[in-house]
Amino acid sequence: MKACFMGLGYIGLPTAIIAAKEGNIDIIGVDINPSVVEQTNAGHLHIIEPGMEELLQEVVHSGKLHASTTPEVADAYFMVVPTPFKGNHEPDVSYVEAATRAVIPLLKEGDLYVIESTSPVGTTEKMAEIIFSERPELKDKIYVAYCPERVLPGNVIFELVHNDRVIGGLNEASTAKAQEFYGRFVKGKLHPTNARTAEMCKLTENSSRDVQIAFANELSLICDKAGINVWDLIELANKHPRVNILQPGCGVGGHCIAVDPYFITTAFPNESKLIANAREINNYKALWCAERVKNAMLEFELKRHRKPVIAMMGLAFKPDIDDLRESPSKQIVSRVMQSCNNADILVVEPNVKSHNVFKLTDYKEAYDKADIVVFLTAHTPFKQLSWSQDKIILDFCGIFKK
Ligand code: SAJ
């Protein structure tokens, strides 16, 4: 069995590595970026994922995986490329289409074609139309399916193998063929459905989480006005057997939760009011945090007649990772810096050695020096710091919750 993975990013590369190692499948990994191809073939992992580089080296050295800028003939083809926005939050499926067009000349009877990229509903049908318009002789002769990933960055090695997956073919034979492929390396259950449901399922999972986080963030705004500790409140409400509220933070970051709901809201604007509002609340939370910091700075200056030293704690988009992509913390730090000509702001990110925009300071040193301490990302080391009465502490992520 030989499989061709189109896209060696945060999902394509780990899936290719695990399929090679656990599924004993010969993998050709394709990326348009020659540097990604070069690094992959040299056994150097270009993405951030704990433990993954060792596995990459293993499958490269054993010859089970090699990378290239052009696809090769295989038995199965996987589209694992980004689906960004075009503007106005319209999803852009042009990378999926380009990857599809690149493999069309290689397709032969009995092959499997799968889209993994998060995609608007109907994308699999659309790509199948493109394939069959170019290669009409393959109609009903190849298997076409959609199978979204569900892995949590930071825990990919475990989740790629153990998470259940949803597999939606254009017909039952396609679903079964894709199940057979994933069954080679996935230990979780493989749930069969149709392509449109599988596409919507991925969007639903991430929108559901976004809505739940928005609820927690909305509560944090209400509690701030009402003089109630939101962390205590949520802990108490969660004692109810059927209530399970998530944690508020300084916004929602990363490449998935803050993006995928728009694939629903742009396609179904009249029906997706709650999903759209959740997006707005989570975006607004970052702006609200930045305003709170700026107000605290002004108040300090008015009272003490000098500018405060401020520690901004955490740049990553969530705790205990070094991934700064689409991070609300980063957005807040930039906004605060712009408002005060970069003066006296100590930026902290213990999981990153250096940054090309922000000069980073050790977290203990920053905490000791600062008049105002702003907790943006709940990294574990921050929890060892002790509350100081002499400092103004803005704890947006619950470092000092009980
Ligand atoms: N967040 C909160 N409060 C919470 C939980 C999370 O504010 O209680 C924030 C985080 O700080 C972060 C953002 O939400 O900024 C997203 O983090 P996350 O841990 O919820 O999710 P991701 O983006 O790392 O991964 C998600 C996962 N989806 C779901 O949990 C439904 C993962 O399983 C998906 O595979 C991934 O998106 C993806 O690639 O789609």
Domains and CATH numbers, the chain: 2-197 (3.40.50.720), 225-395 (3.40.50.720)
The ligand 1 atom at the shortest distance from the C-alpha of residue 149 is 35
Look at residue 209 in the predicted model and tell me its pLDDT: 98
C-alpha of residue 323 to centroid of ligand 1, in Å: 12
CA dihedral 342, 346, 349, 352 (to 10 degrees): 70
Question: With 80 as the cut, is the pLDDT of residue 402 above it?
Answer: no
Q: How confident is the model at residue 344 (pLDDT cuts 50, 70, 90)?
A: confident
The ligand 1 atom at the shortest distance from the C-alpha of residue 377 is 11
Question: With 90 as the cut, is the pLDDT of residue 253 above it?
Answer: yes
Determine the residue of 164, 202, 262, 318 to mutate for testing ligand 1's pocket, defined as the one with the most ligand atoms within 8 A of the Cβ atom. Answer: 318
Contact 210, 252 (CB under 8 A): yes
Determine the residue of 152, 203, 221, 396 to mutate for testing ligand 1's pocket, defined as the one with the most ligand atoms within 8 A of the Cβ atom. Answer: 152
Higher pLDDT, 363 or 320: 363
Look at residue 154 in the predicted model and tell me its pLDDT: 84
C-alpha of residue 256 to centroid of ligand 1, in Å: 7
Look at residue 371 in the predicted model and tell me its pLDDT: 97
CA atoms within 13 A on the CB side of 54: 3
Strand, helix or coil for residue 127:
helix
Residue 253 burial class via C-beta count within 10 angstroms: exposed 0-12, middle 13-18, buried 19 and up: buried
**Which is the catalytic residue, given 202, 285, 318, 330?**
202
Look at residue 220 in the predicted model and tell me its pLDDT: 98
pLDDT one-digit tens code per residue, 260-312? 999 999 999 999 999 999 999 999 999 999 999 999 999 999 999 999 999 99
C-alpha of residue 10 to centroid of ligand 1, in Å: 14
pLDDT one-digit tens code per residue, 24-71? 999 999 999 999 999 999 999 998 888 999 999 999 999 999 999 999
Question: With 90 as the cut, is the pLDDT of residue 7 above it?
Answer: yes
C-alpha of residue 117 to centroid of ligand 1, in Å: 17
Instruction: Please compute the mean of the pLDDT values over residues 120-129 and round it to a whole number.
Output: 98
Q: Give the residue, by CA position, lying nearest to ligand 1 atom 35.
A: 150
Q: How far apart are CA 307 and CA 200, in angstroms?
A: 51
Ligand 1: list residues with CB < 6 Å: 149-153, 205-206, 209, 213, 246-247, 249, 252-254, 256-257, 317-318
Share the mean pLDDT of the chain: 96
Look at residue 88 in the predicted model and tell me its pLDDT: 87
Contact 377, 358 (CB under 8 A): no
Q: Output the CA–CA distances (angstroms, integers) from residue 194 to 26, 109, 147, 363, in the order listed.
A: 28, 21, 10, 50
Question: With 80 as the cut, is the pLDDT of residue 240 above it?
Answer: yes
The ligand 1 atom at the shortest distance from the C-alpha of residue 10 is 39
Is 64 considered catalytic here? no
C-alpha of residue 327 to centroid of ligand 1, in Å: 12
pLDDT one-digit tens code per residue, 132-160? 999 999 999 999 999 999 999 889 999 99
Determine the residue of 201, 209, 323 to mutate for testing ligand 1's pocket, defined as the one with the most ligand atoms within 8 A of the Cβ atom. Answer: 209
Share of the chain above pLDDT 90, in %: 92
Q: How confident is the model at residue 236 (pLDDT cuts 50, 70, 90)?
A: very high
Instruction: Please compute the mean of the pLDDT values over residues 299-328 and round it to a whole number.
Output: 94
Question: With 80 as the cut, is the pLDDT of residue 173 above it?
Answer: yes
Strand, helix or coil for residue 392:
strand
Question: With 70 as the cut, is the pLDDT of residue 342 above it?
Answer: no
The ligand 1 atom at the shortest distance from the C-alpha of residue 250 is 7
Instruction: Please compute the mean of the pLDDT values over residues 207-225 and round it to a whole number.
Output: 98
Q: Give the residue, by CA position, lying nearest to ligand 1 atom 4.
A: 247
Question: With 80 as the cut, is the pLDDT of residue 341 above it?
Answer: no
Question: With 90 as the cut, is the pLDDT of residue 322 above it?
Answer: no
**Which is the catalytic residue, given 4, 250, 256, 397?**
256
C-alpha of residue 257 to centroid of ligand 1, in Å: 6
Is 256 considered catalytic here? yes
Look at residue 231 in the predicted model and tell me its pLDDT: 96
CA dihedral 68, 74, 80, 82 (to 10 degrees): 50
